[in-house]
Amino acid sequence: MTGLRRAPLLTPAAVVASLATLLAVAGVAAAAATVSAHGLHSAPVVVAFAASIAVGECLRVWLPGDRDAAPIGTAAAFAFALVGEVGGPGLAPLSSSVVVGAAGLATVAGLLPHLLTARTVVLDGPAHRFVALVVLVLLWREVPLGDDPAVRVAVGFGPDRWPVALMMLVAVGVALVVDALLAACVRFGRESSRLGAIVRDELRALGGLGSAIGATGVLIALAARPMGLLALPLFIAPLLLTQFAFRRYARVRATYGQTIRSLSRVTELGGYTETGHSRRVAELSLAVGRDLGLGERALQDLEYAALLHDIGQLSLAEPIPGGATVMAAPGEQRRIADLGAAVVREAGVLDTVATIVERQTEPYRRRLQSDDVDVPLASRIIKAANAYDDLVGDDHSQARRLEALERIHLGLAYEYDPRVVSALSRVLQRAD
Amino acid sequence: MRESPRVVAYVATTTLLALACVVVVVPTAPAPDPWTVGMLTAVGVAGARSLVKRLMNGVDVSVMFIIELAALVLTGPTGAILVGVAAIAFASGMPLVVRTFNAAKQVLQVALASVAFTALGGEWTGPSHGHDSIPRDLGLPMLGVIVTMFLFSAVAVAGIVHIDTRTPFGEVFAGIVRSLSVPYVGYGVLALLLVVLWDDAGVGPLSAALVLAPLFVARWAFAQYAAQHAAHERTVAALVTAVEAKDHYTRGHSDRVARASVLIGRTLGLSQQRTSTLHFAGMLHDIGKIGVPTPVLQKTGPLTDAEFETIARHPVRGLEMVREIEFLGEALQAILHHHERLDGRGYPMGMHGMEIPEFARIIAVADAFDAMTSTRSYRGARSVEAALTELRACTGTQFDPRFVLALEQALERSPWEPEVEGDGTAPRFETAPASRASVVQHDAPRPTPADDVDVDDVDDADEADEADDAGRRPDAGPHPVPTQGGST
């Protein structure tokens, strides 16, 4: 799950400096264009929104599932796209090109500090957010939906503005979905998974933080008429709290993963399993799970269960010679799985994982019986991945790997789930 | 549980005063707009059921305060009383005495706040679409309202806590003001924004949903954080227990060392973050023992050189295993060096004195303390006093005297319970002290495990000072919240 962040595309200070110069020139040109189009008094509005976008873009957060978000920058950009009058009537609404141009420059400006500190810079997040902004600007300011967009932007429909607020929410929702879909496409391009599963994950991840971002954008745009630019900092403040909460949440989730990955090695250090066995089984299981289109939550449970699948051996007084559970007697394997499930269940919070561990040795189908559909898919994946790793052992030659796969194929339809095995073959083929 | 007559008398007096206020205020105040009152009541009732949750030190999202404040400005005192009382009436899981008190307090604070509002130039305008100058016509009067409501509420709550628990009034009051004034400034600003949107921007009831959305989401994320944090600790505990299963006599050892280390850390006044790290260091300090064969671990006689060598490698093995866990930070050095001695005769590096990392020196004391006070294969457990005497005798050569002293001080305040086994379900940190203001606490739903590990339990558990603790709890705040949420 981790390690997917791209390598820095641009780091040297020279590139940063030239980029900054370019940005400054573009900024001056854009400012001149804005002032000539809207007059000098529109300048503070543009500057305030652009500055908020840049700062927000700079304060990005990593969310659980290796997602990149800039809640404050996105909210400010959405508000900029929606805003009509600022500080009462009298100021003509900004044109779409000014909004798009200023927001684009601000997004790039927000990246500069990251480039300067030579931190890893991921460009696709800012790119989706910019596209989402353009979509919103077009929807709100250019598409004639029943009435003149210029009227919509400027005053709404008389004194009651809640219909405008509703329309704004719908438009913002569309923009957020566009952002999520773009993120899903990028993810699909670098992971071998099913597009449907990825889109579902991205849309689900959008839910919480997305609604806070969208609501804040709409709030700023609506409040700007009576309050002026003061609306920007005042409404961004609660979003800072939200962002802070998400940062902590993401951090503890990442830590949890690291802990399980590290502590799963106790079985190796205790001499119960081969070095790296749990990790290899976990990686292979994840790849198979992705190939079969499992969602993010299911993948996480699968990873944890695969890492901990041999933990039950700790309850044995001394290691089984050889350790490899696929070669051990079925009764013994079963006992280890039960003991492992007991250990995991002790944690009280990993019951799904415990069930997966518990059922990892069960055959896919018992002789003369109908399909045992109760065995979780994750257990079936771990069963196959574990067998493959045990059969390959230390010898990673092509011949040995083919032999291992062949032995698994022999158990097809009884021991192993044919769907899992064909996914396993695909995954192994891709790795070659 | 029955309330004491003093509490009943206090609540009855407050209620009578409130009824008098209703009789005086309602006929003189302008009639509220029923539509606005209805919508605010709906938001308030929905909010009262689910919106209160302590987030961090002193920060809780008490959405009711925002709604009531907005109701006062948008609908006048009658409307605010209706909204507030309706929310309290619909709140679940509260004894009648608490409900009555909260409702009476609500009425009184609204009455006082509306006096402040009009005195500072505020006008009950109803749905008017606008103020000429938001700071002058709305900002200043609302500031008056916030201050009045907050202070009155703090006085009323400090009064009932004082009567119920006999804690000095001043202490409780100061505790409330100290811990809750900053969040309430935040609520005040949000209420102002809500009013501006509802009224000046003409968005109406929809603005409540918009303003509260980021708070809801923040609350959700904090709840997820707390749940994951608890899950993390429990998972570590479960895995450590599995490792300890190899040696019957060390069962629960890691958990007890973690607890003793945290006691030392708290006495030294370590930050919450570092205390948590120290706790993990205690939990994981012996994880490397998994590489030591069970017979060697359980051997009662003297060890051969080779056997000692195997045992002496456990800190290094432990470090190897957990070094990739980023958050462990200082804990890694503690795991590696917890068998060093001040005189340099320890292992694995033979470090001297203050070269040994601080956390390693703390763990060394806690480790030895638990080893002495628990039963081993070759001897029975010693008493706490005997163990402390032994530790004192070894200060300077083996242990850092500061930490031995800190452990002694900590044990004077909270007695040691060696029998609490590290079964992975015991709370990692002791939760809040047993003595509580019964009127705001009893009948609270039992805390769920996830709630138990609230982020600031580390701080709270140490507060022998009951008054301060009362001030921290959201339910004792100036706005005794209608839902208990079981967050303490």
Q: How far is A369 from chain B (nearest CA, A)?
A: 36
Q: Is the pLDDT of residue B316 over 60?
A: yes
Closest CA to A259 of B363, B321, B427, B317: B321
Largest CA distance in chain A: 84
pLDDT at residue A300 in the model: 93
Q: How far is A26 from chain B (nearest CA, A)?
A: 34
Distance CA A295, CA A203 (A): 12
pLDDT at residue A369 in the model: 62
User: Which residues of chain A does B246 touch, with a Cβ-Cβ cutoff of 8 Å?
Assistant: 314, 317
Token couple for B136: 């002058």
pLDDT at residue A120 in the model: 67
Q: Provide the whole-model pTM.
A: 0.79
Mean pLDDT of B341-357: 89
Q: Is the pLDDT of residue B78 over 50?
A: yes
Tens digit of pLDDT for each residue in B215-226? 888 888 888 888
pLDDT at residue B474 in the model: 33
Q: Is the pLDDT of residue B432 over 60?
A: no
pLDDT at residue A116 in the model: 77
pLDDT at residue B209 in the model: 85
Angle, helices A43-58 vs A13-38, to 10°: value is 150
On whether the CB atoms of residues B173 and B154 are closer than 8 A, the answer is yes
Contact yes or no for A248 and B225 at CB 8 A: yes
What's the complex ipTM?
A: 0.82
Q: How far is B339 from chain A (nearest CA, A)?
A: 20
Comparing alpha-carbon positions, the chain B residue that sits nearest to A206 is B217
Partners of A63 in the β-ladder: A67
Q: Is the pLDDT of residue B35 over 60?
A: yes
Q: Is the pLDDT of residue B98 over 90?
A: no
Tens digit of pLDDT for each residue in B119-173? 887 777 655 556 777 777 788 888 899 999 889 988 988 888 888 888 888 888 8
pLDDT at residue B254 in the model: 92
pLDDT at residue A373 in the model: 59
Mean pLDDT of B338-366: 91
pLDDT at residue B57 in the model: 38
Q: How far is B254 from chain A (nearest CA, A)?
A: 15
Q: Report the alpha-carbon angle A211-A215-A218, nearest 5.
A: 145
Distance CA A112, CA A23 (A): 10
Q: Is the pLDDT of residue B59 over 70?
A: no
Comparing alpha-carbon positions, the chain B residue that sits nearest to A162 is B203
The full length of chain A comes to: 432
Tens digit of pLDDT for each residue in B62-77? 677 888 888 888 888 8
pLDDT at residue A356 in the model: 92
> Which helix (DSSP H) or strand (DSSP E) does residue A68 occupy?
strand A67-69
Closest CA to A250 of A66, A74, A56, A1: A66
pLDDT at residue A119 in the model: 65
pLDDT at residue B34 in the model: 84
Average pLDDT score over chain B: 77
Closest CA to B92 of B417, B443, B425: B443
Partners of A416 in the β-ladder: A412
Out of A209-223, A327-341, B43-57, B246-260, least confident range:
B43-57
Distance CA B233, CA A59 (A): 29
On whether the CB atoms of residues B274 and B328 are closer than 8 A, the answer is no
CA A27 to chain centre: 32
- As a three-state string, the secondary structure of chain B is CCCCHHHHHHHHHHHHHHHHHHHHHHHHCCCCCHHHHHHHHHHHHHHHHHCCCEEECCEECCHHHHHHHHHHHHHHHHHHHHHHHHHHHHCCCCCHHHHHHHHHHHHHHHHHHHHHHHHCCCCCCCCCCCCCCHHHHHHHHHHHHHHHHHHHHHHHHHHHHHHHHCCCHHHHHHHHHHHHHHHHHHHHHHHHHHHHHHHHCCCCCHHHHHHHHHHHHHHHHHHHHHHHHHHHHHHHHHHHHHHHCCCHHHCCHHHHHHHHHHHHHHHCCCCHHHHHHHHHHHHHCCHHHHHCCHHHHHCCCCCCHHHHHHHHCHHHHHHHHHCCCHHHCHHHHHHHHCCCCCCCCCCCCCCCHHHCCHHHHHHHHHHHHHHHHCCECCECCCCHHHHHHHHHHCECCCECHHHHHHHHHHHHHCCCCCCCCCCCCCCCCCCCCCCCCHHHHCCCCCCCHHHHCCCCHHHHCCCCCHHHHHHHCHHHCCCCCCCCCCCC
pLDDT at residue B467 in the model: 32
The phi, psi pair for B56, rounded to 5°, reads -135, -165
pLDDT at residue B262 in the model: 93
User: Which residues of chain B does A166 touch, with a Cβ-Cβ cutoff of 8 Å?
Assistant: 206
Token couple for A305: 């269960």
Distance CA A122, CA A124 (A): 6
Angle, helices A195-227 vs B206-244, to 10°: value is 140
- As a three-state string, the secondary structure of A187-219 is HHHHCCCCHHHHHHHHHHHHHHHHHHHHHHHHH
> Which residue numbers in chain A have pLDDT < 70?
1-17, 37-40, 88-92, 118-121, 145-160, 317-318, 320-327, 366-373, 413
The phi, psi pair for A400, rounded to 5°, reads -65, -40
Comparing alpha-carbon positions, the chain A residue that sits nearest to B229 is A252
Nearest-by-Cβ selection for B221 from A225, A227, A242: A242
pLDDT at residue A321 in the model: 65
Tens digit of pLDDT for each residue in B358-409? 999 999 999 999 988 887 766 778 888 899 999 999 998 999 999 999 999 9
